[in-house]
Amino acid sequence: MRNIVILISGSGSNMAAIVRAAEQGRWSERLSVRVAAVLSNRADAQGLDFAKAHGISTAVLDHKAFASREEFDAALMAEIDRYEADLLVLAGFMRILTPGFVAHYAGRLLNIHPSLLPAFPGLNTHQRALDAGCRFAGATVHQVTAELDHGEILTQAVVPVLVHDTADTLAARVLTQEHLIYPQAVAQFLAQSPTRVKRG
Ligand code: GAR
């Protein structure tokens, strides 16, 4: 059994897509996977309700309660490691991670970013794509490195930019594609990575 831990900060729709894919056994029969926990840095993240309704352990660690980024990340690592995560999935987790955190999960840490990386790392990706006159936009699933929104690209989805698009309409079009590519990329990544040796 492979354990996935998912980190969210908001609506958690990508997390929900991954949970549904795991539940529906849409992944290969040989790939026995469960979402062991959904963790958030915000108590008001709507995705927590979905996770609870699906019987998944949840926890909130409010980053504002910690004196430094390092202390927050250390507490987050301790919580994640309770679940012996084979894979840590960032799904709209809006925190910059410390190099120590990234190193701890090296090779088992994925993120989805709402742009066609390496274009538009960082925030406000859809408005920036519109302002730049892009004809296409999209999303990228990538491995996480210490550099923000870098790391090996696993897959991308491309959508057209339409004449009357706003940042919101473009974001919604991209998000529907995120829900398709993220579960697929997670399954493919797990299928290709060796099983972790469990401690204890
Ligand atoms: C998604 O569009 C995701 O790509 C983006 O936040 C949204 C979260 O939606 N992530 C980032 O911007 C990370 N830099 P969700 O909470 O409904 O999955």
Ligand 1 atom nearest to 114, measured from its CA? 4
Number of domains in the chain: 1
pLDDT of 53 over the 50 cut? yes
The lowest-confidence range among 25-34, 40-49, 108-117, 130-139 is 25-34
Ligand 1 atom at minimal distance to the Cα of residue 171: 2
Rounded CA separation 116/107 (Å)? 21
Whole-number Å distance between alpha carbons of 109 and 90: 8
pTM: 0.95
Q: Pocket residues for ligand 1 (CB within 6 Å)?
A: 8, 10-14, 91-92, 112-114, 139, 175, 178
Residue 199 forms part of a structural domain = no
Give me the mean pLDDT over the 98-127 stretch: 98
132-161 mean pLDDT = 97
Identify the pLDDT of residue 186. 97
Read off φ and ψ for residue 101, nearest 5 degrees.
-65, -45
Q: What CATH number should be reported for the domain holding residue 103?
A: 3.40.50.170
Q: Which of 125, 120, 68, 117 is nearest to 95 (CA)?
A: 68
Residues 6+ apart with CB under 8 A from 161: 129, 130, 134, 135, 136, 137, 170
Atom 7, ligand 1: residue with shortest CA distance = 92
**CA 185 to CA 123: how far, in whole Å?**
23
In a domain, 197, yes or no: no
92 is a domain residue: yes
- Residue-wise over 57-88: b if at least 16 C-beta within 10 A, else e? ebeebebeebeeeeebbbebeebbeebebbbb
* 200 belongs to a structural domain: no
Sign of CA dihedral 11, 62, 106, 20: negative
- What's 195's DSSP letter? P
Q: Is 62 helix (H, G, I), strand (E, B) or coil?
A: coil
Q: Which of 13, 15, 97 to mutate to test the pocket of ligand 1 (most atoms within 8 A of CB)?
A: 13
Residue 198 lies inside a defined structural domain of this protein: no
Residue 30 inside a domain? The answer is yes
Mean pLDDT of the chain: 94
pLDDT above 60 (res 65): yes
Closest CA to 22 of 34, 14, 13, 12: 34
Is residue 27 scored above 80 in pLDDT?
no
Average pLDDT, stretch 118-138?
A: 98
| Interaxial angle between packed helices 167-192 and 13-23, expressed in degrees from 0 to 180 and rounded to the nearest 10 | 40
Is the predicted pLDDT of residue 200 greater than 50, yes or no?
no
pLDDT reported for residue 28:
61
pLDDT tens, position by position, 159-198? 999 999 999 999 999 999 999 999 999 999 999 987 665 5
CA of 24 to the centre of ligand 1 (A): 23
What domain range includes position 101?
2-192
Task: Taking residues 16-43, report their average pLDDT.
Answer: 88
Assigned domain for 131 exists:
yes
Q: How far is CA 150 from CA 91, 112, 142, in A?
A: 15, 11, 7
Among 7, 14, 44, residue to substitute to test ligand 1 (most atoms within 8 Å of Cβ): 14
Can you tell me which atom of ligand 1 is nearest the CA of 111?
13
The confidence band for 129, taking pLDDT boundaries of 50, 70 and 90, is: very high
What pLDDT is recorded for position 193? Answer: 85
Tell me the mean pLDDT in the region 134-146. 97
